[in-house]
Each structure stands twice: as C-alpha cells, then as structure tokens.
Amino acid sequence: MTREAPTLPVRLLAAVALSAALAPLNSTMIAVALPEMAQALPADSAALRQGLVTSYLLTNIVLQSPGGKLGDRLGHRRALALGQFTFALGAAVAYLMPTLSVLTTARITMAAGGAVLGPSAMALLRTELPPAMRPRAFGAFGALMGLSAALGPKIGGLLVAHFGWTSIFLANVPVLLLSALLAHTKGSPAPAAQAQSPAAPPRPFDVVGSVLLGLSLIGIVLGLENAHLRWAAALGLLGFIPFALWERRVADPVIDFSLFRQRAFVGGSLLIALQNLGMYSVMFELPQVAGRLFTLGKQDVGNTLVAMMVAMVIASPLAGRLSERFGERAVATSGSLIAVSGMVLLLVRPLATLTDAVPALALLGAGLGLSSAPSQAAAMSDVPREKSGMAAGVTTTMRYIGGVGGVSVLGLVLSESRAPELVHGEHATAMMVFCVALLLATGCARLLPGRAGSQVPAAKSATS
C-alpha cells in the first residue's frame, strides 16, 4: 500500500503548471520584442541578444541542478515559492527600470527563479502524486513546456503590438501571483526535506560543485552555439572530470552520481535530451528553410508548426494512460518510432509548399508526445524521495542541452544561400542527422521499465 493520497491535488498541479511554463515562455517570447527594444534603449542587436537572450539561457542551464538540490534541502513547496518570488522580482524590475544594464540583471534574476521553478515543479509531481497518476501528469508537464516555448513568439507579438515591449515582463507578475495563491493548498504531504531526520546535522551547500558544474556547462553551451568557440565545448567536457572527482568526495553533492546506476533514470534523461534535440531543431530549421524557399510571413510558418504542437498536446495525456496499461518502455519505444517516421517524411517529401510539411509535423508531434510522458515518469520513478529535486534538475538540464545541441547542428549545416538545390540539400542533411538522434532515442527507450505489474522494484519505489 502506498503512502500517497489517491486524490489528485488539482490546485497544486495548476500552480506547478503556471510556474513551470514561464521559463520556456520567456526564453522565446522576447525574440519579437528585440527590434522595438533596440530602438527604445538604444542598443545594437548583438548587445541585446547577449544581454537578454544568451544570459537568460546560460543562467537557466547552469542553475537547474543547484536549483533542484536547493528544493531537496528547503522542501519543494518552499523552493517553488522562492522561485516564484525571484522570477516576479526580476520581471517587475525589468518593467519599472527598462535600461539595458538593469534589463540584463533582471533577466538573469528571472532565469535564476526559473531554474528553481522547473525542478521544484517536477519534484512536486514525483513526491505528491501517486505512482499511477505520474505518467499522465509528467506527460502534460512535458507538453506544456514545449507548447510554452512554441507559443512564446505569438504571445510576445500580441503583447508588444497592444501594450508595448515592456508588457512582456509585466505579464509574468499576475501569473506568478495566481500560481502562488494556488500553491497554498491544505492537507498536502510534508516536503521532502522535512521528511529527513531532524537529528541529522546540517551540511553546507555544495558551492564548489555547483561552480565547477556551471563552468563546464557554460563552456559546452558557448561552444555549441558559436563556431569560433568550439574549444570552449572541449574545455567544458574536460571540466566534468574535476567536477566528478569533487562530487565523489563531498558529503552532500549537488549531483549524486549513484542516480546514474539506475537504468530508468539514464534512459529517461537521455530520451528527454534527444527528444528536445529533434523538437527544437525542427522549430528553428523549418522557418529558416521556408524563408529561403518561399515568400512567407512569420505567421504562416507559425501556423504550420502548430500542427506539431497540437499533436504533442493531444498525445501526451494519452501516453500516460497507455503507460499504465502497457508499460513505459512499450509506449516510449512506439512514440520514438512514430517520431522517426515523421522526421523521415520531412526528409523524403519535397517541400513544394509549406503545407507539405504538415503531415510530417503531426506525426513528429504525436511521437514526441507519446514518448515524453513515459520518459519523464520513468526517469523520476525510482529516484529516492529526498533526491527528487536533484534528479529533476539533471533531467531539466538535459532538456536544455538537447535543444542547444539541435540548434548547434543547424548552425553547422545551414547557410544563407537561397539557391533551391542547396537549400533542399541542407534540409535533407539536417533531417538525416535528426533521424539518427531519434533512432538513438528509440534505443534509450529500451532502458525504461516494462509493465508495472512485472516490475518488483517499481512496486517498492511506490512507497518512497
């Protein structure tokens, strides 16, 4: 018998959803406001991208694991509240004092809050939902994250057109206030940190490990995003050696490497990264290719990409129900193969018009939606309750790294040429690379558990 309550905490789930959606939403929403911001501040586009876009992305990636660990120590509800306050503070400052230096600081503050919100939200799903409900909840969570990033430019465009560019910051504040109110539900289980023995002496936070991890991730991201900084990616990878050595000797590491002995955690985390590599690569590649082949507006491309997002949103909750019946491995494998078929269709079907991509995008979205729920649920299923935030931080970091990796591949493959033969050739090359990535995801899906009834360890972990 499990210790979790059988009822679904709807208000808490709404609070988690609202909070977690803001970080990916704000990562893409600002793109449409950059031209107006460049005129108003004034500042050149390169300074704006570095100060407001790159700094936000880097801060989010670097602080995911420390943010998750903070939730394990404070309790995930408290960490969620801290993240909400930090994000709202940064948004309010950005609205009230719109200068480039203040905006950069405010965006970093928002990203720091978002880095706490994401892992805390996932950890709350792990700790406060019964095992049978987690696949559906994680599926909805994953779909929401992708949908938020995809809708960011549309929402940002509406806000800028009707209320001015500063409104993209102010709009976050009422959402966070509503989320904070919903999070204060009664009768909730104790936070994970409070479940630890009160006699245990407090241990210092792993600042050294967090810094070493951050430096490695910064090197990798900068190297992937900039062709002239490939050496930084190599240094970042090498930086994991001193980080790993330090984590093995520190009393309370920011990442416990024993997590990587769990097949489900490794398979689910890699699957999440490869899924996002495929999803974000198509979201960025198709607009570039279509813009070089056809005379289209941004609205036309956005409407085409909706096919992928709608299919993902529909398939994700369905995947949760299917996982309960057939097991996470079968559903994730099937979803990955469907996603591969969508990518293959994008590869082999000529893009005579943009609508030619719609069936392939629908298949890709459905496959990603089906594999998202079981991969998220499986990655967190056997993680000890007291390490839920840490595990969530790792999986969320993998999500971001996958997206950055996909965009990096596009930078290597795509050019500025408008010659149709060259554009189609580059499109085919990119699709082949992403087909391989999704085939690897299919292999990772084989590491996930099968039917719940046949998994003895999973039954034990239900009480954790």
Return the minimum-mean-pLDDT range out of 10-14, 114-118, 184-188, 273-277. Answer: 184-188
Q: What is the CATH number of domain 257-464?
A: 1.20.1250.20
Same-fold call for 1-183 versus 257-464: yes
Closest C-alpha to 209, from 255, 257, 261: 255
Tokens of 213: 């991890």
Where do runs of H (alpha helix) occur along 129-194?
Answer: 134-163, 167-170, 172-183
Average pLDDT over residues 386-405: 89
DSSP state of 195: G
CB atoms near residue 20 (< 10 Å) = 27
CB atoms near residue 11 (< 10 Å) = 15
Please tell me the number of Cα atoms within 13 Å of 265 on its side-chain side. Answer: 21
The yes-or-no verdict on residue 88 having pLDDT over 50 is yes
Question: Which residue type is seen at 42?
Answer: P
Q: What gap in Å lies between CA 303 and CA 282, rounded to an integer? A: 14
Instruction: Give rounded-to-5 percent helix, strand, coil for the chain.
Output: 85, 0, 15
Domain ranges in the chain are: 1-183, 207-251, 257-464
Q: How would residue 297 be classed by pLDDT, with cut points 50, 70 and 90? A: low
pLDDT confidence of residue 461: 39
In whole numbers, what is the pLDDT of the chain averaged over residues? 83
Q: What gap in Å lies between CA 110 and CA 171, rounded to an integer? A: 13
Give exposure, 134-145, as e/b (b: 16+ Cβ within 10 Å).
Answer: bbbbbbbbbbbb
**Which tens digit of pLDDT belongs to each residue from 101-110?**
899 999 999 9
pLDDT confidence of residue 393: 92
**Which tens digit of pLDDT belongs to each residue from 306-341?**
788 888 888 887 887 888 788 889 999 999 999 999
pLDDT over 90, % of the chain: 36
Q: Cβ(433)–Cβ(306) under 8 Å?
A: no
pLDDT confidence of residue 237: 93
Q: How far is CA 458 from the centre of its chain?
A: 25
**Which tens digit of pLDDT belongs to each residue from 184-209?**
755 444 444 444 444 455 678 999 99
The yes-or-no verdict on residue 226 having pLDDT over 60 is yes
To which CATH superfamily is domain 1-183 assigned? MFS general substrate transporter like domains (1.20.1250.20)
Instruction: Name the more confident of 354 and 415.
Output: 415
**Which tens digit of pLDDT belongs to each residue from 5-61?**
344 567 777 888 888 888 888 887 887 788 888 888 877 767 777 778 888 889 999
Average pLDDT over residues 132-142: 75
